[in-house]
């Protein structure tokens, strides 16, 4: 019996202390989220933009304005930057070497947000379904690939998912209390405090997404029962004041600091451009999220499909109606907006997990229908990941990391076990078996492939940063001012210097000719223009090494020469 089998059966007894369930869910989440957490390189482009903006806060002492290099980053509020800065500053105080350059420290808020999402999914489910189904929902959420990805990235989305799950857990308790014994006054005030604090924190992290989901759900439910009096327990007047107390101080300061530009940039330039069209080549037609769901929600998605008939049959029951109100209106909005990224719908995944868990707990999956064939996605995705990990070393000429070869046989074995269970129609091991398979795949992919030698061609920024360190050691310089006209990824800024020069190759040549202690990264195609820019300043500039790699964004192959101008007299 695996740990996950034990957890599922343990929770199903209904007699497990809630404190014990919390501890075990935290440990299970960490098992799923930690492979690769420390060792993964900064993953372009959003993650290093967030981390670099936080690093510049620490460098400048300005914790109000958000900047990436010299550009104002008026797209998201300040919440995640403050959290990241707090962890990095704490690590510095504890003596962590080069804490500001350690990307995993900036990821800690996301890790906490992902674990909190699992726990709050369980807590929200307890208001709607039994303890066994609530535990199953939490396991489904913890093993979902999209939440695992966001747990490993220094961004906002895991924290937003947690804030939405917390707010919806409160709303669920008020919804289920309708027509029953009312919540006590003390409980109402406590839950209202949680609700409005979650909205305030969510707004401070990513703006309107957190309040939007419960607002849409409340409206849908009020229409469903033709009454909204049950919402009075949320103490809207006092709650709005609490929410404002969380959000307003920074909002006032940033409006003063940017002379109103933050509002126009975040709502106008950023949000409205996403609504009007596909921003930054991320456009997709309606239905794209539904199609992507079967991979981003693996291994939960096939189970969710089998739960759909049960959900339809029970759609008028209070718990199902609530979860559909959580899921459907916001999902339709996300599908309608042209700009689409997979993580946008993550705050809706807890509702799907609870609906699916309820069907599993009631043994109501549509195992007798043709939908059952979707279950083959669970071992199928694992086998595809295994094959990619095996073919990659052959194509790229470098082995995967040790953990790939350790985990791969277990992935194959567990995939075979899942296939046998699917063929036999055994539903008992679908949740625990799927979660175990997910854990093995995450160890294999994050711990073995993406951090192994096979992934080195895609690790251009870390390799260029290491080349800069080697060149500095032989240059006689305390530091080297970098420039990179050919490769301009945010991760290179984070791993080198805030003031790295991103300009054309000719301008970079002139930059190299104007002073000592400088380094430039020049793609072979840009070398003639770079040499022309050097002109008479070419003396003292020399090629110290070449690096061949593939830009993780777009897959463009680059042959980068590392040019050094040493210190005077060298």
For 67, phi and psi rounded to 5 degrees? Answer: -135, 145
Percentage of residues of the chain with pLDDT beyond 90: 80
Task: Specify the CATH class of 459-565 in words.
Answer: alpha beta
What span, in angstroms and rounded, lies between the C-alpha atoms of 160 and 498?
A: 28
List residues bridging with 548 in a β-sheet. 559
The neighbour count for residue 151, using CB atoms within 10 Å, is 25
DSSP state of 315: T
DSSP assignment of 192-211, as one string?
HHHHHHHHHHHHHHHTTHHH
Q: Which residue in 335, 233, 253 sits closest to 290, CA to CA?
A: 335
C-alpha radius of gyration, the chain, whole number: 26
Quick one: pLDDT at residue 67? Answer: 94
Average pLDDT over residues 223-250: 93
The alpha-helical segments, DSSP class H, found in 343-376 are: 349-361
pLDDT at 110: 98
pLDDT value at residue 11: 53
Contacts of 383 (CB under 8 A, 6+ apart): 412, 415
Q: Give residue 272's pLDDT.
A: 53
pLDDT band at 323 (very low <50, low <70, confident <90, very high): very high
pLDDT band at 33 (very low <50, low <70, confident <90, very high): very high
CB within 8 Å of 454: residues ≥ 6 apart: 392, 393, 396, 398, 399, 400, 401
Say what the pLDDT of residue 472 is: 93
Q: Does the structure show a pLDDT above 60 at 10?
A: no
Mean pLDDT of 450-454: 94
Q: Compute the distance between CA of residue 254 and CA of residue 569 in angstroms, rounded to an integer.
A: 47
Of the ranges 146-160, 178-192, 208-222, 469-483, which one carries the lowest mean pLDDT score?
Answer: 178-192
pLDDT of residue 178: 85
Residue 231 has pLDDT above 90, yes or no: yes
Please give the C-alpha separations between residue 4 and each of 15, 23, 130, in angstroms, as whole numbers.
Answer: 17, 14, 19
Residue 426, pLDDT score? 80
**What would the mean pLDDT of 189-194 be, rounded to a whole number?**
95
Greatest mean pLDDT among 10-14, 398-402, 538-542, 563-567 lies in 398-402
Q: What is the mean pLDDT of residues 215-224?
A: 96
pLDDT cut 70: percent of the chain above it: 93
Task: Please name the residue that has the structure tokens 């857990």.
Answer: 169
Measured CA to CA, the distance from residue 191 to residue 128 in angstroms comes to 16
Average pLDDT value for residue range 454-464: 96
The confidence score (pLDDT) of residue 270 equals 58
pLDDT, tens digit, for every residue of 496-506?
A: 999 999 999 99
β strands within 297-417, DSSP E: none
CA 54/CA 48 separation, integer angstroms: 10
Higher pLDDT residue, 442 or 536? 442
Q: What is the mean pLDDT of residues 135-143?
A: 96
Q: Could you tell me which residues come within 8 angstroms of residue 150 by beta carbon, excluding any fewer than 6 positions away?
A: 110, 113, 114, 157, 158, 161, 343, 346
For residues 487 and 469, give the distance between their C-alpha atoms in angstroms, rounded to a whole number.
18
Are 552 and 515 a contacting pair, CB within 8 Å? no
Q: What is the pLDDT of residue 568?
A: 64
Q: Please give the Cα distance from 198 to 201 (Å, whole number).
A: 5
Closest CA to 77 of 212, 197, 209: 209
Average pLDDT (138-163) is: 98
Extract the tokens encoding 537: 């300043």
| Residue 266 pLDDT level (bands cut at 50, 70, 90) | confident
Task: Say whether pLDDT at 17 is over 70.
Answer: no
- Pick from 338, 332, 342, 327: nearest CA to 294: 342
Pair of tokens at residue 233? 């327990």
How far is it, in rounded angstroms, from Cα 372 to Cα 245?
50
Q: Which of 379, 538, 115 is nearest to 123 (CA)?
A: 115
The answer, as to whether pTM is greater than 0.75, is yes
Average pLDDT over residues 244-267: 86
* CA pair distance 20, 507, nearest whole angstrom: 62
Q: pLDDT-derived band of residue 77, with 50, 70 and 90 as boundaries?
A: very high
User: In this predicted structure, what is the pLDDT of residue 262?
Assistant: 83
pLDDT tens readout for residues 35-74 = 999 999 999 899 999 999 999 999 999 999 999 999 988 8
146-160, 178-192, 292-306, 435-449: the lowest-pLDDT one: 178-192
Domain ranges of the chain: 3-285, 370-456, 459-565
**CB neighbour list of residue 385: distance below 8 Å, 6 or more residues apart:** 411, 441, 444, 445
DSSP one-letter string for 398-417 = SPPPHHHHHHHHHHHHHHHH
- pLDDT, residue 223, reads 95
Say how far apart CA 535 and CA 511 lie, in whole Å. Answer: 11
The model's pLDDT over 460-492, given as tens digits with 9 standing for 90+, comes to 999 999 999 999 998 889 999 999 999 999 999
Cα distances (Å, whole numbers) of residue 524 to 237, 461, 470, 560: 63, 17, 21, 6
Cα–Cα separations (whole angstroms), residue 410 to 88, 164, 283, 346, 386: 36, 36, 38, 29, 11
Judged by average pLDDT, the poorest of 95-104, 180-189, 530-539 is: 180-189
pLDDT at 535: 86
pLDDT band for 13, please (50, 70, 90 cuts): low
84-92: Cβ within 8 A, 24+ apart: 84/50, 84/51, 84/54, 84/108, 84/109, 84/154, 85/54, 85/57, 85/58, 88/54, 88/55, 88/58, 89/58
Q: How far, in Å, CA of 246 to CA of 231, rounded?
A: 22
Distance CA 411, CA 386 (A): 8
For position 364, what pLDDT does the model report? 95
Residues in contact with 519: Cβ distance below 8 Å, sequence separation at least 6, in sequence order: 468, 471, 472, 480, 481, 482, 483, 562, 563, 564, 565
């Amino acid at each position: 019996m695996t740990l996950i089998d034990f957890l599922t059966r343990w929770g199903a007894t209904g007699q497990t202390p809630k404190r014990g369930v919390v501890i075990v869910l935290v440990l299970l989440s960490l098992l799923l989220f930690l492979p690769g957490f420390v060792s993964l390189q900064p993953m372009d482009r959003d993650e290093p933009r967030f981390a670099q903006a936080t690093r510049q806060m620490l460098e400048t002492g300005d914790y109000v304005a958000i900047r990436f290099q010299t550009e104002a980053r008026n797209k998201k509020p300040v919440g995640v930057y403050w959290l990241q800065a707090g962890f990095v500053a704490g690590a510095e105080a504890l003596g962590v070497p080069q804490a500001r350059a350690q990307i995993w420290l900036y990821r800690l808020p996301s890790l906490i947000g992902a674990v909190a999402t699992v726990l709050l999914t369980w807590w929200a489910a307890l208001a709607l379904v039994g303890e066994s189904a609530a535990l199953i929902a939490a396991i489904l959420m913890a093993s979902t690939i999209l939440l695992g990805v966001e747990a490993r990235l220094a961004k906002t989305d895991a924290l937003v998912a947690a804030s939405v799950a917390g707010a919806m857990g409160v709303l669920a308790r008020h919804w289920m209390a309708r027509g029953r014994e009312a919540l006590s006054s003390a409980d109402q005030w406590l839950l209202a405090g949680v609700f409005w604090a979650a909205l305030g924190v969510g707004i401070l992290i990513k703006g309107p997404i957190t309040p939007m989901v419960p607002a849409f759900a409340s409206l849908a439910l009020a229409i469903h029962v033709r009454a909204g009096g049950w919402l009075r327990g949320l103490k809207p007047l006092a709650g709005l004041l609490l929410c404002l107390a969380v959000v307003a101080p920074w909002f006032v300061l940033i409006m003063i600091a940017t002379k109103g530009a933050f509002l126009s940039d975040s709502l106008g330039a950023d949000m409205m451009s996403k609504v009007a069209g596909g921003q930054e080549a991320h456009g997709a037609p309606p239905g794209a999220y539904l199609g992507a769901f079967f991979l981003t929600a693996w291994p939960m998605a096939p189970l969710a499909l089998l739960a759909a008939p049960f959900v339809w049959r029970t759609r008028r029951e209070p718990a199902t109606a609530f979860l559909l109100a959580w899921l459907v209106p916001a999902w339709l909005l996300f599908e309608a907006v042209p700009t689409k990224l997979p993580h946008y719908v993550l705050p809706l995944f807890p509702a799907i997990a609870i609906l699916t868990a309820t069907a599993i707990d009631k043994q109501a999956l549509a195992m007798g229908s043709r939908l059952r064939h979707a279950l083959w996605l669970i071992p199928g995705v694992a086998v595809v990941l295994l094959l990619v990990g095996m073919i990659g070393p052959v194509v790229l000429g470098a082995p995967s990391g040790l953990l790939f070869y350790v985990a791969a046989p277990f992935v194959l074995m567990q995939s075979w076990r899942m296939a046998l269970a699917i063929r036999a129609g055994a539903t008992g091991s679908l949740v625990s078996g799927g979660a175990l398979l997910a854990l093995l795949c995450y160890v294999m992919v994050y711990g073995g492939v993406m951090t192994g030698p096979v992934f080195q061609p895609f690790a251009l920024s870390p390799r260029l940063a290491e080349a800069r360190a080697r060149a500095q050691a032989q240059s006689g310089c305390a530091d080297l001012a970098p420039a990179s006209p050919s490769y301009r990824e945010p991760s290179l800024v984070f791993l080198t210097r805030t003031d790295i020069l991103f300009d054309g190759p000719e301008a970079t040549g002139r930059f190299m000719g104007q002073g000592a202690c400088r380094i430039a990264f020049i793609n072979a195609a840009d070398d003639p223009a770079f040499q022309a820019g050097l002109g008479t300043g070419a003396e003292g500039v020399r090629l110290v090494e070449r690096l061949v790699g593939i830009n993780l964004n777009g897959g463009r192959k680059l042959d980068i020469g590392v040019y050094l101008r040493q210190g005077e007299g060298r």
